[in-house]
Amino acid sequence: MAELADAPDSKSGEGNLVWVRVPPSALMVERHRALNGAVTPVVLLLLFVLVTGCGSTNAGNAAAEAAARSCPAAWRGGWQALANRIQAPVYCPTWMPVPLDAQIGGRYANGESVSRDRSYLVSFIWREPGSGEVHVNLRGYPGRTRIPTCSDLDTDKPVPCFSDPKGTVRGDDIAARIYTANQGADQWHVLYAWRRAGSLYAISEHVTPPYTYARVVGNLNRILTNLVLVPAKS
């Protein structure tokens, strides 16, 4: 099971643990992409209203979805290539907030970087002047569990890249800690971090229109619950 990043000691308990329930998929986005090849601001607004108005699936449907979940065929190649490149498992998101997808090198790709220590950042973004921005980052730090250090933008002093913890959240077999003061590419993002098998992983989303803070948290909850581990192949 994946563990909390910067987990509290045994006296801290899990009194503020939140269990995530997954709403149904926004299939209209995929239909629109298939027919028109793009998501316009007007369509985004309509889909945003529909998605935010949807309820949660019942427990039976959620269990069935979890059993059948896999990295989408159109996305899997990029995530498998990343896992092979760093020779460590990576998490493929099977759901992304409207209008994004998680195809590395695809329409919404905002960069993929791998450092010498095999840590990686994969970023996706949609931006439309006057309409807003949807920006999601996925990170992994193979072989290390400590939160990395960044340079403070104001003082240039070393500070934790993720800070200001605001409780924990659980999705399936992942227990993640929520951070609201983050550095670098995750600045102004809400970030979820967790540990698994001696490695640290994180997802984050920018808090900016068209999504409110509450909706960003809802998006991250759903991303977390729908992550699929992609093992490396030698």
pLDDT recorded at residue 61: 52
**pTM for the full model?**
0.77
Give me the phi and psi of 153, to 5 degrees please: -65, -30
| Dist. CA 211–CA 217, nearest whole Å | 10
**CA dihedral angle for residue 142, residue 67, residue 29, residue 190, rounded to 10 degrees:** -40
Weakest mean pLDDT among 28-42, 139-153, 168-182, 200-214: 28-42
Weakest mean pLDDT among 64-68, 201-205, 207-211: 64-68
Give the distance from CA 55 to its chain's centroid: 21
Of the two residues 152 and 90, the one the predictor is more confident about is 90
The helix/strand/coil state of 208 is: coil
| Dist. CA 229–CA 52, nearest whole Å | 27
Q: Name the DSSP letter for residue 2.
A: B
Show Cβ contacts of residue 9 under 8 Å, excluding neighbours closer than 6 positions. none
Number of helices (H), then strands (E), belonging to the chain: the values are 5, 13
Of the two residues 192 and 48, the one the predictor is more confident about is 192
Pairing of strands 158-160, 149-151: antiparallel
As a residue count, the chain comes to: 234
Weakest mean pLDDT among 35-39, 94-98, 154-158: 35-39
The helix/strand/coil state of 55 is: coil
The neighbouring-strand residues paired with 81 are none
How is residue 61 written in tokens? 């449907």
DSSP line for 53-69: T--PPPHHHHHHHHHH-
How confident is residue 154, by pLDDT bands cut at 50, 70 and 90?
A: confident
The neighbouring-strand residues paired with 115 are none
* pLDDT more than 90, % of the chain: 66
How is residue 71 written in tokens? 């990295």
* Mean pLDDT taken over the chain: 81
Weakest mean pLDDT among 25-29, 144-148, 190-194, 210-214: 25-29
Show Cβ contacts of residue 40 under 8 Å, excluding neighbours closer than 6 positions. none
With a cut of 60, say whether residue 176 has pLDDT above it: yes
User: In which residue are the tokens 């970023």 written?
Assistant: 123
